[in-house]
Amino acid sequence: MYSRPRIKIQLSDSEKFLAIAGWVAIVTVWLIPLALFHTLPDTIPLHFDSDGNIGRYGSRLSVFVLPPFATFVFAILHIVGRHPHLLNYPVTITERNAPIQYALAVKALLILRFTMGIIFIFILFAIIFPEANKIIVSWMLFLSIVLLIIPITYFQIKSIKHK
């Protein structure tokens, strides 16, 4: 089996900021339900269509399903980011290109961690403030697509350019 070089990637200041912002986002995903739980009605909206119409209701305790799920996604992205040599790349990894390829992958994962945190915060706001959900849901769908696809595409192209 081909063994890739293992390199410790040093984060730049902007990458450290992204890492901290990701942690702040995931902590916020926990704080929002904890802080606002007592203000929620017994039944809250749980599912929305693309127009922001509520499709399903559930117990207000359901608001605590999202934080563990968000934490799981965050943890997976965090763990994978610490082991960039295990990722798949659009180019063959060599001793020469490993530092740039790994750095690009780590930065992409930092952006995705932060983005996922923001998306989960939007989802919580749609659930907790259903009167504003038509605006939140319509923007959330658009922003989720943009905030996920653009960084992935950008880093794929950049990775290919740095063979």
**Contact present, 158 and 125 (Cβ < 8 Å):** no
pLDDT tens-digit series, residues 62-94: 999 999 999 999 999 999 999 999 998 989 888
Q: Stretch 121-134: mean pLDDT, rounded?
A: 79
Please state, rounded to an integer, the average pLDDT across all residues of the chain: 88
pLDDT of 1 reads 45
The tokens of 112 are what?
């995705």
Rounded (10°) angle between helices 13-36 and 66-81: 160
